Amino acid sequence: MQPAWPLSLPYRGGRRDRLGVSKLRWSMMTWRPARRERGAAAVEFALVVPLLLTLVLGIISYGYLLSFRQSLSQAAAEGARAAAVAPATSDRQAIAFAAVGSTLEATCLDDADSLTCSTATPPGCRCLEVSVSWDYAADASKPKFVFGFALPETLTYTSTVQVNQVDAP
C-alpha cells in the first residue's frame, strides 16, 4: 500500500548531500513562474478589473438612489402629516408643499419637479394624499449608473393620511 503523499519532494536543482536529499540554494527557494505564464496575471487583471469597477460603481449609485428615495418618502410623509393638522382645507396644499420643501432642504435636495396635494372626502372622514415626484435622470448632481439603464428615470412616492372630520359648532 502506497502513502497518499510522496515521501520525497521533487528535485528542484541544487546540490545533493550523501543521502540524496536536495540542498536548495536561497535563489532556488524563491518561486519564479515559468516563462509561458509570465503575462497571465496582467491579462487576468485587465479582464477582471473592469467588471469589478462596474460592480462597485453600480452598488454605490444604487445605494445613493435608495438613500435619495428614502428622503423623498420622508418628505411626502412630513407633507401629509403637516397637511393633516392644518385647520383649513384651503391651506392644506400650501402647508404640504412647504413641509415637503423644508424636508428636502434639510437633506440637501432643493426642490421637487412636481408636488401634488389632493384631498378626497368620503363620508365621515377625509383622506389627504401627498405625492412627490423627482426626475432623477434630469438631475445632473446625482450619480448615474455606468450604463444608465438599471436605474429609474423618475422617482415617485405617495403618502396618504386620514384626517378626522371635525364638525363646526
Question: Dihedral of CA 63/69/73/78: which sign?
Answer: positive
- State residue 87's pLDDT score: 75
Q: Which of 22-26, 34-38, 61-65 has the highest mean pLDDT?
A: 61-65
Model confidence, pTM = 0.62
| Residue at 122 is within a domain | yes
- Answer yes or no: is 153 within a domain: yes
The domain of 106 spans 37-164
- Domain presence at residue 143: yes
Give mean pLDDT, residues 110-139: 64
Structural domain includes residue 4: no
Any domain includes 26: no
56 lies in some domain:
yes
Residue 20 lies in a domain: no
Most confident of 70-74, 92-96, 122-126: 70-74
Closest-CA residue to 133 (of 117, 157, 151): 157
- Which residues does 37 contact at the CB level (< 8 Å), separation at least 6? none
Please state, in angstroms and rounded to a whole number, the distance separating the CA atoms of residues 102 and 109.
Answer: 9
How many domains would you assign to the chain? 1
Query: CA dist 8 to 5, 11, 83, 103, Å?
Result: 9, 9, 84, 74
Residue 28 belongs to a domain = no
Within the chain, where are the H helices?
Answer: 26-29, 40-84, 92-106
Q: Give the confidence band of 3 by pLDDT, cuts at 50, 70, 90.
A: low
Q: How far apart are CA 8 and CA 2, in angstroms?
A: 13
Question: What's the pLDDT score for residue 50?
Answer: 94
| Residue 29: all three cell numbers together | 527557494
